[in-house]
Chains A and B, each alone.
Chain A
Amino acid sequence: MTERRARHLSFILLFVMLALAALTPLHAVEPDERLADPAQETRARALSSGLRCLVCQNQSIDDSNAPLARDLRILLRERIAAGDDDATITRDLVSRYGDFILLQPPFNPRTLVLWSAPFVLLAAGGWVLFRRSRRMPQLEKPQPLTEQERENLRRLLATDRIDPPAGSPRQGS
């Protein structure tokens, strides 16, 4: 566990003591871990920011200073340096640790509801609104003014000001 972990608990103000017992004085991504090749290092950073630190709460191994996260960072850098591609590395990690290690859950039957929910909800809401708007009684189209109304309007506009109706609240302007 880590400072990040401890912060969550501080946010929830709960298992304070528990977090303290496990704080480690390490730091996320130490300089000595990094790869010499900038392109490979960029790949390593991108890959590790999508992998969950398994002993932390909702934190990637890139952000975490837990020893296990450091081990995984070093492991995947070794794999990258050895020439493995991202998909192979991810697949091997998933086969060892399960889908839990992926911060972005894979799309499969178990996560179907999760991934489709936002779009299904939006579409369903849109459909209900569409139906309602068609059922809603149509507003009348505005009719052109009659000659008499035109005359009244001209007369009203000709006067300097129009007294507000009695009892109406004073407007700001």
Chain B
Amino acid sequence: MTVEWGHFALILALVLSLCQVALPLWGLAGRDHALMQTARGTAIGAFLFTLLAFAALTYAYVQSDFSVINVAMNSHSTKPLAYKISGLWSNHEGSMLLWVLILTLFGALVAMARQAIPLPLLAAVLMVQGGVSSAFFAFILMTSNPFLRALEVPAEGRGLNPILQDPGLAIHPPLLYIGYVGFSIAFSLAIGALIHGRIDAVWARFVRPWTLLAWSFLTLGIAMGSYWAYYELGWGGFWFWDPVENASLMPWLAGTALLHSTVVMEKRDALKVWTILLSILTFSLSLIGTFLVRSGVLTSVHTFASDPSRGKFILGILVFFIGGGLTLFAWRAHALRQGGLFAPISREAGLVLNNLMLATMAATVLIGTLYPLVLEGISGDKISVGAPFFEATMLPLFLPLALLQPLGTALSWKRADLWAAMQRLSWAFGFSVLVLCIVLYVTRGGSVLAPVGAGIGLWLVLGSLADVWLRVWRAKAGWVVNLSRLAGLPRSAWGTALAHAGLGISLIGIAATGWGTEVISTVGKGAEVPAGPYRLVLEQVITRNGPDYRETIGRFQVYSDQQKLGVIEPGKRIFIGQTMPKTEAGLMTIGLGQIYASLGDFQADGTVSLRLYWKPLVVLIWGGALVMAFGGFLSLLDRRSRIAAPRKARQLHGDAA
């Protein structure tokens, strides 16, 4: 019965979402505040019922209720509990349920946040949120229902794809979806502002915390996905320019641009029209990403055409919300008053350049991802747009942006002195160039791109440190005063510095892939293989049983000179209910680098083919992303963007009285 209750709760959530559209709309039309207020209750209600539906499906997974088709297809009774639960979002239906759960959660958070959004704007925002969630509820119920029962109940489930049975799967999709879906609030706020025709710096203050939240989670989600791919796949790549990855990169690039343009809007009341457009585009890219991933159009245009019900439904949602949003923008944007003026050399102008570069990068990824589909659809010609294309087009856009970033933060608002800004950063720049020259000399004969990338990364890190230093340090003030100034620096300033430094750290890690080593060979017991400055010795080959798999591993001892550093155990696993083996890479982190080993087939004579890498500084790639996301969260804690600040103030007043 629990499953039927879940099904029913999902239908009720759809009904509540429809109310969340209709009642505030009626209220807005008649300027009826009581009707506008219903938006809050319906939004919270829709979330609670979605949570019930989600809980019911989770229960079915935990109980291994194979009468539910979705559970039977994606679970197995012997799986560990954590993977039974995460198996829920390992498949299309379940992950769409997670998607709407997070969507309605954001709606409920907006409804509950004491952000002092004027009621008509709040009602409009929740109305748009309700519209998006209604569409996706209808999509789930009509084309992708996870609650359907089977007529004949199988005795055992089909099991989860072994690649998905990993902590990576448990964490990656929720993080990514919070990022994707969080941008819906920026979208709804933009639509609300267009409906009212009024927008000012206060609007930017509403949109900023939600954008920061979504962006930080999306950063974590992408980094998590990248690390997961890195250790799962067995040849050590961390980014493949795959359409699925591009689908998450596009909203990230647009969201990054949005974060920067809202700063201009909040501080200087400028770039309003552009910020509104960017809010619409960022969530549109999230929707396009969902469409690309969910419709099956990526696999092949023909697959899409042969079973088009899901794809067409999402395409309809896409056209309605993106087309509607852009039409409203075209119709109403002129009503928005242009704000503050600034000189061509100023912080504002720097941020405009940042937005131009980031928007071009997002557009490049979008065009590169869709071009093969469109070309095949129009002419039938099949072409591939792979990593070489994206590297050739994105690097010339990204490297200048990274090179200019520290200079931008050193410029003052409204009108800046470029020469003075450059002088202030001369130490950071000089030191970066010095390190670059040394590295170029030491690694001469090798790739030039790696030292240049690392040099720019170092410049980003030092530029961020210089930014904090220049804000705080006053030569005459003495240490104590300067330290207290450091502690008193607003959290958003720390957040900015950390996010930019994190980008530099990641860039250093990416550049360092050019200095890695690779060995491919066939090894037997006792064989010795070099991995950069280390060497590995195959001690023995072991076959053993895990909780729900059987694995054969090679136990390698890692040496630095004569000293033993430890053991890594790359191997192959066969999971119960599956027939195909899955490669498990062996990893050892030494400092900031990693030894990465992956095994091929075991031969009858006891030898095995081995791919062994030494990857210096590779940890920085994801470490930098963590620092970036941490910067985002820190900025979110700034009093300027604190969502619940007015409520606390009210409580304080209450206590005083």
* Cα–Cα, bound, A74→B368 (Å): 30
- Please judge, given known A-B contacts A20-B578, A34-B520, A125-B360, whether A11 and B225 are in contact too, CB under 8 Å: yes
4 more CB-based (< 8 A) A-B contacts, given A17-B73, A26-B601, A27-B234: A14-B296, A104-B392, A114-B371, A137-B341
- The contact string, 1 if C-beta is below 8 Å from chain B, for chain A 1-20, is 00110111111111111011
- The contact string, 1 if C-beta is below 8 Å from chain A, for chain B 214-245, is 00000000000100010011110100111111
- Please judge, given known A-B contacts A7-B163, A31-B521, A139-B415, whether A118 and B382 are in contact too, CB under 8 Å: no
Stretch at the interface among A77-85, A95-103, A146-154, A160-168: A95-103
- Please judge, given known A-B contacts A12-B298, A16-B74, whether A101 and B489 are in contact too, CB under 8 Å: no
Contact A10 B386 (CB under 8 A): no
- Contact pick for A27, options B163, B375, B382, B601, CB 8 Å: B601
Most chain A CB inside 10 Å of its own CB: which residue of B242, B490, B599: B242
Interface residues of B in 243-257 (CB under 8 A from A): 243-245
- The contact string, 1 if C-beta is below 8 Å from chain A, for chain B 373-388, is 0010001011111111
CB distance from B22 to the nearest CB of A (A): 33
B583 at the A/B interface (Cβ < 8 Å)? yes
B364 at the A/B interface (Cβ < 8 Å)? yes
A23 contact set on B, CB distance < 8 A? 580
* Cα–Cα, bound, A31→B397 (Å): 38
* Cα–Cα, bound, A10→B170 (Å): 12
Contact A103 B386 (CB under 8 A): yes
B382 contact set on A, CB distance < 8 A? 98-100
CB distance from B269 to the nearest CB of A (A): 14
Contact A114 B367 (CB under 8 A): yes
CB distance from B390 to the nearest CB of A (A): 10
Interface residues of A in 5-54 (CB under 8 A from B): 6-17, 19-20, 23-32, 34, 50, 52
Task: Provide a sorted-by-A list of 25 A–B residue pairs whose CB atoms are within 8 angstroms.
Answer: A7-B233, A10-B163, A11-B244, A12-B298, A15-B296, A15-B299, A16-B74, A16-B91, A24-B580, A26-B601, A27-B234, A29-B611, A34-B520, A50-B388, A58-B384, A59-B240, A98-B382, A103-B385, A104-B389, A110-B383, A113-B367, A117-B364, A118-B360, A121-B360, A136-B341
B296 contact set on A, CB distance < 8 A? 14-15
- The contact string, 1 if C-beta is below 8 Å from chain A, for chain B 349-381, is 100100011011101100110010001000101
* Cα–Cα, bound, A126→B414 (Å): 20
A136 contact set on B, CB distance < 8 A? 341-342
- Please judge, given known A-B contacts A27-B601, A114-B368, whether A105 and B384 are in contact too, CB under 8 Å: yes
B393 at the A/B interface (Cβ < 8 Å)? yes
A75 at the A/B interface (Cβ < 8 Å)? no
- Contact pick for B164, options A10, A29, A31, A117, CB 8 Å: A10
* Cα–Cα, bound, A12→B294 (Å): 7
Contact B489 A102 (CB under 8 A): no
Contact A13 B235 (CB under 8 A): no
> Chain B: which residue is nearest A25 at the CB level?
B581
Contact B388 A103 (CB under 8 A): yes
* Cα–Cα, bound, A17→B158 (Å): 9
> Chain B: which residue is nearest A137 at the CB level?
B341
B433 at the A/B interface (Cβ < 8 Å)? no
Most chain B CB inside 10 Å of its own CB: which residue of A27, A103, A121, A133: A27
B301 at the A/B interface (Cβ < 8 Å)? no
* Cα–Cα, bound, A122→B360 (Å): 6
Tally the A-B contacts, defined by beta carbons under 8 Å.
Answer: 186
B149 at the A/B interface (Cβ < 8 Å)? no
* Cα–Cα, bound, A125→B358 (Å): 11
A122 contact set on B, CB distance < 8 A? 356-357, 360, 397
CB distance from A32 to the nearest CB of B (A): 7
B169 at the A/B interface (Cβ < 8 Å)? yes
A172 contact set on B, CB distance < 8 A? 488-490, 639
* Cα–Cα, bound, A167→B364 (Å): 48
- The contact string, 1 if C-beta is below 8 Å from chain A, for chain B 147-174, is 0000000000010110110000100010
B609 contact set on A, CB distance < 8 A? 27, 30-31
- Please judge, given known A-B contacts A13-B164, A16-B91, A19-B161, whether A52 and B384 are in contact too, CB under 8 Å: yes
* Cα–Cα, bound, A4→B235 (Å): 10
* Cα–Cα, bound, A130→B383 (Å): 36
- Contact pick for B580, options A7, A11, A20, A115, CB 8 Å: A20
CB distance from B299 to the nearest CB of A (A): 7
Interface residues of A in 105-134 (CB under 8 A from B): 105, 110-111, 113-115, 117-118, 121-122, 125-126, 129, 133
**Residues of chain A at the chain B interface (Cβ within 8 Å):** 3-4, 6-17, 19-20, 23-32, 34, 50, 52, 57-60, 63, 98-105, 110-111, 113-115, 117-118, 121-122, 125-126, 129, 133, 136-137, 139, 169, 171-173
* Cα–Cα, bound, A172→B640 (Å): 11
Contact B244 A8 (CB under 8 A): yes
Contact B371 A13 (CB under 8 A): no
> Chain B: which residue is nearest A31 at the CB level?
B522
B332 at the A/B interface (Cβ < 8 Å)? no
* Cα–Cα, bound, A57→B300 (Å): 9
CB distance from B218 to the nearest CB of A (A): 15
Contact B580 A25 (CB under 8 A): yes
Contact A103 B359 (CB under 8 A): no
Contact A102 B384 (CB under 8 A): yes
* Cα–Cα, bound, A125→B489 (Å): 35
B424 at the A/B interface (Cβ < 8 Å)? no
> Chain A: which residue is nearest B378 at the CB level?
A110
B92 at the A/B interface (Cβ < 8 Å)? yes
B583 contact set on A, CB distance < 8 A? 3, 27
* Cα–Cα, bound, A137→B338 (Å): 12
Contact A110 B92 (CB under 8 A): no
Most chain B CB inside 10 Å of its own CB: which residue of A17, A34, A102, A172: A172
* Cα–Cα, bound, A105→B235 (Å): 24
B613 at the A/B interface (Cβ < 8 Å)? no
* Cα–Cα, bound, A74→B237 (Å): 23
A59 contact set on B, CB distance < 8 A? 240
Contact A31 B520 (CB under 8 A): yes
* Cα–Cα, bound, A63→B238 (Å): 13
B158 contact set on A, CB distance < 8 A? 17
B145 at the A/B interface (Cβ < 8 Å)? no
B293 at the A/B interface (Cβ < 8 Å)? yes
Contact A3 B233 (CB under 8 A): yes
A126 contact set on B, CB distance < 8 A? 356
* Cα–Cα, bound, A59→B384 (Å): 10
- Contact pick for A63, options B237, B375, B414, B489, CB 8 Å: B237
* Cα–Cα, bound, A43→B503 (Å): 33
Contact B389 A125 (CB under 8 A): no
A114 contact set on B, CB distance < 8 A? 367-368, 371, 385, 389
A16 contact set on B, CB distance < 8 A? 74, 90-91, 160-161, 164
CB distance from B538 to the nearest CB of A (A): 14
A-B residue pairs, 10 tightest by C-beta: A103-B386, A27-B600, A104-B388, A23-B580, A173-B488, A100-B382, A118-B364, A12-B293, A11-B244, A172-B488
